[in-house]
Amino acid sequence: MHRTIFTTPVVNTLLRGFSVAYLRLTGWKVEGALPAQAAKSVFIAAPHTSNWDLPYTLMVAFALRLNPYWMGKHSLFNAPFGPVMRWLGGIAVNREQSSNLVAASAQAITEADGPLQLIVPPEATRARTRCWKTGFYYIALGAQVPIVMAYMDYATKRSGLGPLFQPTGDVEVDMAAIKAFYAPFKGKNAAQFETEQIE
């Protein structure tokens, strides 16, 4: 995959040092580590209720030495912002050529020549929603990679990597188990996080 902010040597070292120091000074505890078998994986990013989730997610990713990517519509990568978006971990997807974002994402993971952790927020919005999108599930199923249940709990200032989950294809049963794991966690705007329904 292309070089990102996470794989640029000097920048990575500096930002990792800053991230570890900032999280420690502000009372956040980073937990877990990425198992070798999850070098290629799909990350659930939950709860996702605030713009603050992005900087904290980036700092936790640096602290855990991750190599995260995200999918974006190809227009975001037009000049002059394209190089910056790619450096931040963006992967352009042309929805006109590939109407199925799930298939395109799974293909990108499969064809990657190195570690790739694709971050997907299941709520697909910071606003209050009772329904979780299942795109992350089908991306992992299509790419035959595990789901990493990453979390950020503002109530206890804990963030990190939970257990791996290998999708079985029974989406209703699997999603119930996944959402049960996330039920105790509180987002920054806790009232906006629901774990009761899927769509």
Per-residue pLDDT of the chain (199 residues; tens, 9 = 90+): 678 999 898 999 999 999 999 999 999 999 999 999 999 999 987 777 777 888 898 899 999 999 898 766 678 788 888 888 888 888 776 656 555 778 888 888 898 888 889 988 775 443 444 457 788 999 999 999 999 999 999 999 999 999 999 999 999 999 999 989 998 888 887 665 555 544 4
Angle between helices 9-25 and 53-63 (to 10 degrees): 110
- In order, the DSSP letters of 145-195 are -PEEEEEEETTTTEEEEEEEE---S-HHHHHHHHHHHHTT---TTGGGEEE
Adjacent-strand bridge partners of 41: 117
pTM of the model: 0.81
Among residues 99, 146, 95, 151, which one has the least CA distance to residue 122? Answer: 151
| Whole-number pLDDT of residue 126 | 39
How many angstroms separate the CA atoms of 57 and 75, rounded? 24
| Whole-number pLDDT of residue 131 | 59
| Whole-number pLDDT of residue 95 | 58
What's the sign of the alpha-carbon dihedral 142, 164, 135, 8?
negative
How many angstroms separate the CA atoms of 114 and 102, rounded? 20
Among residues 80, 137, 145, 161, which one has the least CA distance to residue 108? Answer: 145
| Largest distance between two CA atoms of the chain | 47
How many angstroms separate the CA atoms of 147 and 74, rounded? 25
